[in-house]
Structure 1
Amino acid sequence: MTETEVLAVAGQQAIWACLMVGGPLLGLLLAVGVVVAILQALTQVQEAALAFVPKMVVLGLALMFGGPMAMSVLRTFTEDIFAQMVSVGGLR
């Protein structure tokens, strides 16, 4: 592969890794935000902490339970990038 092809593949892998790591977290936070917004609209309680605290609790739990998966994705991505660097530049 040429250098430009390697860069294109590395860019695609970077975007995919970002989606794999950040996508589930953003989806969870979006769902919690919608639920909290509906509850706030139903009860007419407009407290800022009521919107912030549940999101932080869910984010902490998601990072605690999904952290190993995220680290696995990032480790694989890093190993692939270094392997591509060696294939393009070689060991000198």
Structure 2
Amino acid sequence: MDTATVIDLSRHAMWTIALVSAPLLLVALAVGLVIGIIQAATSINEMTLSFIPKLIAEAVALLLFGGWMINTLVDFTRNIFQRIPTLFL
């Protein structure tokens, strides 16, 4: 296995990780930002206030994007398994 193959596999793995994690991270960021702005505007400094809205938003995002996330991971895994015979030539 040469260096270019390892770099290509690593790049593909990192790109897949970024794609799969992006929807949930962006939803958590957006909800956290909105809750933070509301807390700053109302001077409510309760740290647990943002937990329930984030939890609900993450559940909804997982329902919306879960199928796509699983398909992306399955495609990546299939690609890796299909490349196994050519890795050690």
TM-score, structure 1 as length reference: 0.87
Unaligned runs of 5+ in 2: none
**% identical aligned pairs:** 33
Cα deviation code 1:4-52 (max 9, x no counterpart): 2221111011011011101121111111111000000111111222111
What is the SS of the residue equivalent to 2:45? coil
Match in the other structure for 1:63: 62
Question: Aligned residue pairs: how many?
Answer: 89
Matches within 5 A, 1:9-48: 9-48=8-47
- Please say if residues 6 and 84 of structure 1, whose CA atoms lie closer than 8 Å, have aligned partners that are also in contact: no
Is contact 1:33-1:51 (8 Å) kept?
yes
Q: CA deviation at 1:84?
A: 1.4
Instruction: Measure the CA separation in 2 of the matches of 1:13 and 1:85.
Output: 15
| TM-score computed with the length of structure 2 as normaliser | 0.90
Which segments of 5 or more consecutive residues in structure 1 lack a partner in the other structure? none
SS at match of 1:45: coil
Runs of 4+ in 1 over 6 A off after TM superposition: none
User: Partners in 2 of 1:32 and 1:47 — Cα distance?
Assistant: 15
Checking the alignment, whether the CA contact within 8 Å between 1:21 and 1:70 is kept in structure 2 is yes
